[in-house]
Copies of this chain bind each other. A is one copy, B any other.
Amino acid sequence: MFTVTIRDHVMIAHSLRGEVFGPAQRLHGATYVVDAGFAGPELDADGILVDIGRATDVVREVLDRLRYRNLDNEDLVAGQNSTTEVLARWVADRLAERAAGGDLGPGGQALAGIEVTLHESHVARASYQRAL
C-alpha cells in the first residue's frame, strides 16, 4: 500500500459546548496543521499514486471553507461541536467527495482510503481514517 501525504494549515475561531471542555467553552481559536494522506495499492503509468499538484490544490480549497473563520457562525457540522476529531472527519469526507468527483484526476478515483490528521498544538492531534 502506498500513501502520499500533503501538509497545509488553517486558522479558525470557535467555542465548544459542554462542561467537559472547561475553559475551551469560551470563544478561542486554533491553528490546525493538517496532514492529508491519500492511500492506494497501485501507481499509475507515471509512477505516482495521485497528482500531487492537484491534491495540494484540492486540500487548500477544502481548507478555504474554514480559513480565517469563526466556525460558530458556519453551517459545517450541523449541531455538533467543531472539535478536532469532528473537523478531521469533515476534511476527510470533503476530500473523499472531491476524489470521487474526479478532482484528483484518474489516480484519485483508484484510491483506497484517506487519513486526515489535525495537529492542534505540539502536544495534541486528532486523526480520521476512512475508506473510499
Chain A positions near chain B (C-beta within 8 angstroms): 1-9, 11-14, 16-18, 20-24, 26-33, 43, 46-49, 51-53, 67-70, 77, 80-86, 88-89, 105, 120-130
With A43-B86, A49-B126 already in contact, the answer to whether A121 and B11 are too (CB < 8 A) is yes
User: Is there contact, CB below 8 Å, between B126 and A3?
Assistant: yes
Counting chain B CB atoms within 10 Å of each CB, which of A18, A20, A53, A82 scores highest? A20
**CB proximity of A13 to chain B, nearest CB, Å:** 4
Question: A18 to chain B: which residues have CB within 8 Å?
Answer: 46
With A11-B29, A122-B9 already in contact, the answer to whether A20 and B48 are too (CB < 8 A) is yes
User: Is there contact, CB below 8 Å, between A123 and B8?
Assistant: yes
